[in-house]
A = this chain, B = another copy of it.
Amino acid sequence: MNQVDVVAHPNVALVKYWGKRDELEKIPASPSLSITLGGLETRTSVTEASADTVVINGKTIADQKILQWLGWVRHQYDIPRLKIDSSNNFPTNCGFASSSSGFAAMAVGINELCRLDLNLVSLARVTRFGSASAVRSLLSGYVTMHPDTEECAPVQLVAPEYWELSVVAAVTSTEPKPTSSTSGMARTVATSPFFEKWVDSTSDDFERCKQAIHRRNFDLLAEISEANCYRMHALMMSTDPPLRYWSAGTMNAIDTIERLRHDRVPVFFTSDAGPQIKAICPPEVLPTVRRALEDTDGVLSTLESDIGNAPTLSAS
């Protein structure tokens, strides 16, 4: 086996992770819950090479985050020098969680190519040292990650078929984010007066969100997810200096979603460390939601997705 190809999907959290409890072991401070986005793909090939090499979307780049992570993995396990060649069918590094699918794909690919035979807990740990959010991309459907249980490995709450929902991602910018999630989180933990209360309230949201999904209660899921999203952006804005990831396009997209809901279209939004908006809705209103977002000032394009699968492998 000379090459392993992996297809992995980013995930979007409905109950968000922002801030670590343990910087050394990269353990999040609070539990999170996400859906894996089947329609958005990262294709990654992993091969042996004479030196660690990273190619993203066709360009060789000295990505320090990935190169340092490869060094860390090599320190843990007996792996050769590797070439990583990864492409996304969605914007990279601007709030679409390309690092979640990226690190999940790399971890799965290295595990296979190097015959490490890691169990899910160990695979999650390797993934987490690249990106904690990426751990949730190791599984399909509705996925939880809890710092206090399962050694912080991902757990599938329910499969995609349990509740079919659609996601429309509204792209409002393809610029890289001004502050990386890693450094933004560290700044938040160090300076926000709200951080402790964020952790407490997110734990409450997590329990309620699991109930909403078990019951397939869309209105409750919408209420919890939007409040949690607003509270994460509030947390970011409360740091010193403040972190603002939202733009004019973001506000217009939120206005559109509020207007749709006012017109009785079942839809809610979430948004991560970037100006993009992800709208979640039942499949039957997806065309309506997509059209409304495409007609929104400041929305450059939209992507659509269902709730998707775990990474898939092929070797050659």
Contacts and interface: CB of A to CB of B under 8 A. Distances in A.
Interface of A: 193-194, 196-198, 200-201, 223, 226-227, 230-231, 233-238, 240-242, 244, 246-252, 254-255, 297-298
B234 A237 contact: yes
A275 B43 CA distance: 42
A315 to B, nearest CB: 47
A234 B298 contact: no
28 contacts: A193-B197, A193-B198, A193-B200, A193-B201, A194-B198, A194-B234, A194-B238, A196-B197, A223-B241, A226-B241, A226-B242, A227-B240, A227-B242, A230-B237, A230-B238, A230-B244, A231-B242, A233-B234, A234-B235, A234-B236, A234-B237, A235-B238, A244-B254, A246-B251, A248-B251, A248-B252, A248-B298, A251-B251
B227 A241 contact: yes
A244 B298 CA distance: 19
A237 B101 CA distance: 29
Contacts of A226: 241-242
A234 B227 contact: no
Question: Interface SS of chain A: helix, strand, loop or mixed?
Answer: helix
Contact of A248 (B233, B234, B297): B297
A196 B194 CA distance: 9
A200 B201 CA distance: 19
Nearest to A241: B227
A248 B296 CA distance: 11
A255 B247 contact: yes
Name the 5 nearest CB pairs between A and B, nearest first: A234-B234, A248-B248, A230-B242, A234-B237, A193-B201
Nearest to A238: B234
A251 B193 CA distance: 24
Nearest to A196: B197
Contacts of A248: 248-249, 251-252, 255, 297-298
A238 B235 CA distance: 8
Most buried by B among A226, A235, A238: A238
Contacts of A197: 193-194, 196-197
Contacts of A193: 194, 197-198, 200-201, 231
Contacts of A196: 197
A240 B223 CA distance: 9
A202 to B, nearest CB: 9
Contacts of A244: 230, 254
Nearest to A249: B248
A188 to B, nearest CB: 11
Given A201-B193, A227-B240, A227-B242, A250 B247 contact: no
A23 B244 CA distance: 32
Contacts of A237: 230-231, 233-234, 237
Most buried by B among A231, A233, A249: A231
Most buried by B among A233, A240, A251: A251
